[in-house]
Structure 1
Amino acid sequence: MVAFSPAAFADFLTTNDDTAIVMLNLLRFDPDGGRERHLEYLKMAEPILDRFGAKILFRGDGLPVLTVGDTQGWDAVLLVQYPNRTAFKAMVDDPEYQAAFQVGKSALRDIILQPLKQSANLM
């Protein structure tokens, strides 16, 4: 299911907004044409991302998982950088993005959106 957690989204938006964030997108496609619909979504979304100062840093297909345990692989991964949280919210609320989002949503069987911030300490 593709839906924001209202509490997590609200918490995300109330935190300091002065730095760029990177959104990790772990994607599992609908087996019935999901990958193709996702490519259609990307064509629609890329000019919108640009308008909000966002850019795709990495786009790739998942390979077999190398760790043991209760893990399941992902079909694809996207890393998208936004100038700040306000830009992300403005994009999500944008009517043109909402239309593209419906196409993207129809492509997915499952998704994880994990916001990331730059760490001063690498380890």
Structure 2
Amino acid sequence: MAVDPQGADLAQFMNEGPGGPFVMLNLLRFAPGGRALYDEYSRRAGVFLARYGGELLYAGDGSTPLVAGQGQSWDAVLLVRYPGREAFSRMVADPEYQEITGLRSRALAEAVLQPTEPWGTGGTPRTAR
């Protein structure tokens, strides 16, 4: 399973979305012993979030799912707001950030990074795409 964004995925990510702020949903499944590595990655990644205007909105441990299919249980969930896709792209391309990505890669057995965009005003969903 992939745990890090790849070049083609980043290119598609940059070409989608309406622009402006978005929230990245992070669903994480740790490799054996990976929690400590991820904690170290998180501690060091905070510098880069601040540098590129990102903000950790929520981080929490997963518990027993109420409704989920086989394999849809996650060890941790994070919500991170970014000012735009360009800021996220610059962050992951930063050579100093690249020095810590190995911690994240070794920490995770599986991950989902899902960009999300706010619904219209008042919480009303936009029409289906």
Output the TM-score relative to the length of structure 1: 0.90
* Alpha-carbon separation, structure 1, partners of 2:60 and 2:4: 22
Superposed CA deviations along residues 30-65 of structure 1, whole A, max 9, x for unmatched, are 12x200110000111001110000010000000101
- Post-superposition shift, 1:5? 4.7
One-letter identity of the residue aligned with 2:25: L
- Post-superposition shift, 1:104? 1.0
Q: Is the 8 A contact 1:2 1:111 kept in 2?
A: yes
Q: Is the 8 A contact 1:17 1:84 kept in 2?
A: no
- Alignment correspondent of 2:46: 46
Tell me: CA distance 1:30–1:21, structure 2 relative to 1, closer, same or farther (3 Å).
same
- Post-superposition shift, 1:17? 6.0
* Alpha-carbon separation, structure 1, partners of 2:101 and 2:115: 18
The within-5 A match list for 1:1-123 is 1-15=2-16, 18-31=19-32, 33-120=33-120, 121-123=123-125
Q: Is the 8 A contact 2:20 2:83 kept in 1?
A: yes
Q: Is the 8 A contact 1:17 1:86 kept in 2?
A: no
* Alpha-carbon separation, structure 2, partners of 1:71 and 1:122: 30
- Post-superposition shift, 1:73? 0.7
3-state SS of 2:100 partner = helix
Unaligned stretches of 5+ residues in structure 1: none
- Post-superposition shift, 1:111? 0.3
Unaligned stretches of 5+ residues in structure 2: none
Superposed CA deviations along residues 14-39 of structure 1, whole A, max 9, x for unmatched, are 235641011100000012x2001100
- Post-superposition shift, 1:9? 2.2
Q: How many residues align?
A: 122
- Post-superposition shift, 1:4? 2.1
Tell me: CA distance 1:17–1:53, structure 2 relative to 1, closer, same or farther (3 Å).
farther
